[in-house]
Structure 1
Amino acid sequence: MRTRMSRAVTGLSVLALGVGAAVVGATLPAQAEGLTLSVDVSQTVRPATQVAAGGLYGVGSDTQPTTDMLLPLNPTSFTQPAPGTTHLGNGATEPCCDSMDVGQNITRAGAQQFIRMPDIYPTFPYDWQGWDDWEAKVTKQVNDRLERTDLTNVHGWELWNEPDWTWDTEEAGSFNDGWTRTYNLVRSIDDVTPIVGPSPSVYRHDDMLDFMTHARDTNTLPDVIVWHELDDGNWNAFDDHVADYRAIEESLGIEPREIAINEYNSFNEMDIPSVALHWMSVFERHGAREAHRAYWFEAGTFDGLFTVDGNRPTASYWMYRWYADMTGNIVQTTPESWIDGVASYDSSRQIVNTIFGGDWGDNTVDVSGLEALGSQQVDVTVTSTPGSGRNTAVEAPTVVSETTMDVSGGQISVPVDDMDATAVYQLLITPAGGPTTDWQQVYEAENATVVNANTFGSDSASNGYYVGQIDGDADMRSDSFVDFTVNVPAAGDYTMTIDYANGTGATSTHGLATGGAFTEVSYEPTAGWGQFESTDVTVSLREGYNIIRLAKGAPNFDGGTGYAELDRITLS
C-alpha cells in the first residue's frame, strides 16, 4: 500500500463490516438518535453534475470496467496515469490504467480525465532520476497525447502528485521552482490543455499561500486548483479549506479558479458508504467542481464500486447509482450532528431525490418546499444499502418503506427508524401516483458533460441554467461539445427536441452523433443570445444508456457553422 496510509489512522474504533471486510481506525459516531436532516426543495445550490462521481485509477482498461458498467454511474471525471506509464500502484505486479489506453472508454461513458504525469515512474514515492530524465519523460508524454487526435476529454495535465512529501528537494531543488520549470515545458509543447495542481496530500495554508504567490509571480498559475482530502473523518474541514483558499486568491489578486479534489476518502473509511456520503455532501455544498474517489485497492474497480471477482456491485455502488440519477438541481440540505445528505429536485418529472445517512437509531428527514410538486399528497419511498464493504457483492438495495403522506404547508417529516451509521439511505418523493413521466425525457445541458464550454444562469432558461460559449473546433484539445447521457426504455427512433439560442442573425449548425457518424443540426436565428426556441431532429437510440453529442467541433466532424447555445433536449 502507499506509504501515506500510516498518516491516516486517527480514529479509535474497529468496526466489522460484513464478510471479508474490516475497517480499522474508522471515524464513526457513538450510538445516537433523534436527529434531523433538513431538505429545502425551494433553495437551489447548483445544477446536478455528480461532482463526487469520479475516481483515481478508476478505469483499468478499455474494457474494465466496461462502458456499459460505467454509464449508469454517470461518472464526471477520473485521474489516470501518464501515457506509457510504468507505475505499479498499491501492490500491482504490472502497470495499468494508461490514460491513452483508457481514454475512449472514459469518453464513451461521458466523463473526462486528468493525466497524472509523475506516475510515469514505477514506484511510489517517486524515484527522482534527475532533470534531464524528467524533462524527457514530460516531453514524451505530451507528444504521445498530441498524437492521439481521436481522443477528446483530457481536461488537465497534473504536473506532480503530493509534492509535500514526494518531491525530492535535495536533488531537484524547491518544488515551486520545479513547478515553474515543468509548467513552462508543458506549455512550450501544448498551450491548450489546462494545467492542474499543486495536488498536495493535505491542505495547508502556508504551503498554498507560498505556492500561489510563486505561481502568480512567475505567470505559472494552475488553471484548476487541486488538493487531496484523505484524513479520517475530516469532511467538516472542507468548507474551511475552500474559504481559506478563496481568501488567498483574493489577497493575491488572482481570479478565482475552479477546485478539484482528485483523491478523497481515507484508507480506513473507503468502504463505508456513509463516509463517502459525507464527502459527497460537502463537495456539493461548498463548491468543488469535481472529486475522485481515492485509489487504495485494486485499480479498474471504480475504487471499490465493483468487486474484483466478477465485477458485481458493492454496497457503495448503489449510493453512487442513486447519485447518478440526480437530475435538475442540487437543493439545500442542512445536517444535524452526523446526519447529512445530498438532495436534488427535477422539475420535469417532479422528483425529489435525497441520499442521507451517517448515524444510528431513529431519525427524521424533514422536507420543505414541496409546493413545487403541486400535490397535497406525495408517494414516499425509503431504500437502503448496507455498510458491507468492497469484498461483498450487493445485488440490489433494500426497500425500507413505501407510503403516501399528506403535505402540510409544503412540508413532510419522514421518520427512518433503526438506522445503521455505516449504511446509506435514499428517500424518493413524487406526487401521489408517481413522477410525471415513466422515464427521463428532459435532459438539461447544464447536467450534461460540458467540454470546452461554460454554464450560465438565466431566468429565461429551463431549470435556470444553459450552456454557452460552445465555440471551439480547432482540434481534439479545444473542440467544444455537450455530451448528454440518456436512458431510454426501448431501442428505436426518437424525436429529440433541442431548445437552443442563436443570436448570430444567420443559421448556425452543430454536429450530432449518437455513437456513429455525425449528422448536422441546423439552428435558425432566435431573438438573441439566451432567448430560446426549439427544433426537432430524429435520433436512433439503443435500449438503455446512450451518449448524444452536440458539437461545434469534434474528431470526425469538420466543425459547425456559426454559434449556438444549448438549454436542454427532450426525447419522445
Structure 2
Amino acid sequence: MRARVRALVLALTTTAATTVAALPALPAAAAGATLTVNVAQPFRPVTHVASGGLYGLAENSRPADSTLLPIKVNSLTQPAPGVGQKPNGQPPGGDSLLVAPQATRVGAGEFIRMPDIYPDFPYRWVSWTDWLAKVDTMVRARLNATTVTNVIGWELWNEPDWTWNTAAAGAFTDGWTRTYRAVRALDAQTPIVGPSTATYNRSWMQTFLTHARDTGTLPDIICWHELVEPSRIAADLADYRNLESSLGISPRRVSINEYAATSEVDVPGRVASYVAKFERGGVESAHRAFWYEYGTMNGLVTGNSQPTGTWWLYKWYGDMAGTMVATTPSTQTGLDGFAAYDPTRRIVNVVFGNEAGTNTVNLTGLGALGSSVRVTLLSTPASGRFTAVAAPTTVSTTTRTVTDGRLSVSVPGMVATSAYQLLVEPASGVPAYQQRYEAENASVFRAQRLSAASASAGGYVGRIDNSGTPRTDSYVDFVVNVPAARAYTMTIGYANGTGATATQGLAYNGGAWSTVSYPPTAGWGQFGATVSTTVTLRAGYNVIRLAKGSPYFAGGTGYAELDYIQLT
C-alpha cells in the first residue's frame, strides 16, 4: 500500500511469526523455458481483471482519460469521502466521490477504503465513538451522492493483521462485526469487502471467516494483498477455496486489491506473471499497489500523462477481447503469460515475460486461423516511472505455417524485466478495427455475466434490473475504439423472454439519453435476434452505456439480456 517495510515482511510469511526476508530477485537466464497456449481451451470472458489500481486516480482528472481508456480499467480502490490519509507524505487526495466522474467516464468501479479517513499509516485509533461517527459520515456522504453509480464495495479496514489496534479497540473480529453492522444499518445493498489482509494467512483467515460466518457478517468480496511473490498466488487462492468449503461458506468473489512490490510494480516482465496468475486463479479484480505518487495510475504514466514501458503491457491487455484461453508455464517462478482469443476477428493475443534468454511459446488449437498466419512479436522495457515510452518495439513480423492447429514460436534474447506481446492472426488479414464488442467483456454493473451456447463467443449479460437508486441500477458500459468521427450503425444482439417489448436507455460519452426497444424473442438465453440504432462517435475511444437504470434516465421497462454490440 505504501512504502513501508513491515507489510512486505508480512507478505513473505504465511505464519503468525514475523520473518525477515529479502525481496525475490528477478529470474536469471534460463535455457529453453516454455509457455504453452491452448487457444481451444477458453476458461473465462475477457474482463481485464488485473487492470486496476489502488489510489489510481487523483482529483482534476489525473491521469488523463486518454491514458485510461486504452487499458480498460476494471476497478479501483480509492480513499473514503473526506479523505485524511497522507500516503508517503503527500497531501490527502483521491477522494472516491470526487474522482467518481472520471472513473465512470472510463468504465471503472470503485471500492471505498474506509480507514483512509484517518491521516496516518499505520492508522492511529482514537475511540469507538470516533470511528463509528466517521463510518456514519462516510456512508451518508456516499448515499447523498445520488449521481454516483460506480461504487462496488465498502472496504471496512485495511491490513488489519498489522494495523488494527487490538489493545485499544479490542479484537478485530469483534471490530469487523461492529463496523459491518454500522454500514449495513445505513446501506443494505453495496457489497462489503474484506478482510484485506497484508498477506494470505490461513490461520488468521480461518479465525476471521468462522467469526464472520457465525455473526452473519461475511464479506461479499473476500480480499487480501499479494505484495511480493507471484509464485505463491495459485497456492493462496487454492487454499482459500479449500478453507471456504471446509467452513460451509458459499463461494465468495475474490479481489486482490494490492499487488506487486516496489521492486516489481514498474517491471512489465514481472507484472505479466502476476496478471497471468490472477487470470488463471479466477479472481474478480486486482489492483496495482500504491507506492509513490497520486495521479499516475500507480506509475503507468509519467507526471504529464505519457505512457511508461509498463503502460504498454496494460494496453496489450486492454486490446484483448473474446475469451481468456489457457496458458501453462514451465514453472511458477519464471516465464509466464496470459492470452485471449477474439473469435470475431480471429486474433490470438499473448502477453508474457519474467524470463531471460531464448524461450518458446507453443500454441495449440489454432485451426480456425487457417494454415497460414502472420506472427508479430513486440516488446516493452522496464522504463521506470519517469521515462516515457512512445511505442513498443516491433521485434519481428513473419508468416508461418500452422500444422494440425499447432505453432511453435522461438523468442530469442528475452530480457527478464521486459514484457512481450505475440499476435497471431490469419495471413489473409483481419478487420482494420474491432467492430463487435461482447457484453461479457464490457464493464458490468449490478448485472451478471452468463453463458449460453447460442450467444456470440458463448457469453452474455443478464439480470439487468433497476430499483430507482444508483446503488442498485444495472448498466453495461462498452469501451469502444473507432477509426473516424462519424455516425455508426450499432446492432445489438439480445434476448427478451418476457413476451412483451422491453426497453433500455442508451447514452454515449456522457451525452443525452435515448431509448432502445427490444421486441420479445423465443426465450431467455436464446440469441439470434438483433435491433439497430445509430450512434455518432468521436475518433478513438468512446464509452457506450446501455442501462436499465442510470442517473438522468427515468428507467427502462421489462427485461432484456445483452449479447453484443456491433459498430459498422
TM class by shorter chain equals over 0.9
Which of the residues 286, 291, 297 maps onto 1:296?
A: 291
Match in the other structure for 2:429: 434
RMSD: 1.4
Take 2:318 and 2:551, find their aligned partners in 1: how far apart are those partners?
27
What letter matches 1:264 in structure 2? Y
Q: Structure 2 counterpart of 1:391, which letter? A: F
Aligned equivalent of 2:248: 253
Of residues 345, 356, 366 in structure 2, which corresponds to 1:370? 366
Partner-residue secondary structure (3-state), 2:492: strand
Query: Given that residues 444 and 569 in structure 1 are in contact (C-alpha distance below 8 angstroms), is that contact kept between their aligned partners in structure 2?
Result: yes
8 Å contact kept, 2:322–2:340: yes
Residue in structure 2 matched with residue 392 of structure 1 by the alignment:
387
Shift of 1:6: 4.6
1:476, distance to aligned residue in structure 2 (A):
0.5
Identical counterparts, % of pairs: 56
Q: Does structure 1 residue 240 correspond to structure 2 residue 238?
A: no
Tell whether the 8 Å contact from 2:452 to 2:526 is kept in structure 1 after alignment: no
TM-score after normalising by structure 2 = 0.96
Secondary structure class of the residue paired with 2:110: strand
Q: Please show how residues 456-475 of structure 1 align to structure 2 within 5 Å.
A: 456-475=450-469
Alignment pair present for 1:5 and 2:5: yes
Distance 1:415 1:221 in 2: 48
After superposition, where does 1:18-417 map in structure 2 within 5 Å? Answer: 25-92=23-90, 94-231=91-228, 234-308=229-303, 310-337=304-331, 338-373=334-369, 375-417=370-412
| Distance of 1:31 and 1:188 partners within structure 2 | 56
3-state SS of 1:155 partner: strand
Partner amino acid, structure 2, of 1:486: V
| 1:525 pairs with one of 520, 537, 540 | 520
Given that 2:10 and 2:199 are in contact with CA atoms closer than 8 Å, whether structure 1 keeps it comes out as no
Distance 1:163 1:46 in 2: 32
Q: How many Å apart are 1:9 and its aligned residue?
A: 7.1
Task: In structure 2, give the amino acid aligned to 1:476.
Answer: P
Aligned to 2:498: 504
In 1, the alpha carbon distance for the partners of 2:150 and 2:7 equals 34
> Where does residue 18 of structure 1 map in the other structure?
none
CA contact (8 A) 2:269 2:353 kept: yes
Whole-angstrom CA distance in 2 between matches of 1:193 and 1:504:
28
SS in 2 for 1:30: coil
Letter in 2 for 1:508: A
Query: The residue matched to 2:464 in structure 1 has which SS?
Result: coil
Query: Shift of the alpha carbon at 1:320?
Result: 0.4
Residue in 2 that maps onto 1:14: none
* Residues 8 and 267, structure 1, Cα contact 8 Å, conserved in 2: no
- Matched residues in 1 for 2:351 and 2:60: separation? 31
What is the distance in 2 between the residues matched to 1:420 and 1:388? 13
Is the contact between residue 48 and residue 326 of structure 1 (CA under 8 Å) also seen in structure 2?
A: yes
> What secondary structure, in the 3-state scheme, does the structure 2 residue paired with 1:178 have?
helix
Question: For 1:199, what is the secondary structure of its paired residue?
Answer: strand
* CA–CA separation in structure 2 for the residues paired with 1:513 and 1:304: 32
Secondary structure class of the residue paired with 2:276:
helix
1:272 Cα offset (Å) = 1.1
Mapped to 2, the partners of 1:33 and 1:438 lie a distance apart of 38
Q: 3-state SS of the aligned residue for 2:89? A: coil
The amino acid across from 2:262 in the alignment is: F
- 1:7 CA displacement: 5.1
Cα distance per residue 1:76-119 (max 9 Å; x no partner): 00000000001100121x11100011001001001100000000
CA-CA distance at 1:305 after TM superposition:
0.2
- TM-superposed deviation, 1:4: 3.6
Q: What TM-score results when the alignment is normalised by the length of structure 1?
A: 0.95
Q: How far apart are residue 2 of structure 1 and its match?
A: 3.6
Aligned length: 554
Structure 2 distance, partners of 1:3, 1:216, is: 34
Q: From the superposition, tell whether residues 7 and 174 of structure 1 become closer, same or farther in structure 2 (CA, over 3 Å).
A: closer
The alpha carbon displacement at 1:200 in A equals 0.4
Partner SS state of residue 88, structure 2: coil
Q: How far does residue 53 in structure 1 lie from its aligned partner after superposition?
A: 0.1
Instruction: Indicate if the aligned counterparts of 2:2 and 2:292 stay in contact, CA closer than 8 A.
Output: no
Measure, in 2, the Cα distance between the counterparts of 1:103 and 1:442: 28
Using the alignment, how far apart are the partners of 2:111 and 2:546 within structure 1? 23
Structure 1 unaligned blocks of 5 or more: 12-23
Cα distance change of structure 1 residues 184 and 9 upon mapping to structure 2, 3 Å threshold: closer
* Per-residue Cα deviation, 1:143-195 (whole angstroms, up to 9, x for no partner): 01111101101000000000000000000000000000000000001111111
Where do 5+ consecutive residues of structure 2 fail to align? 12-21
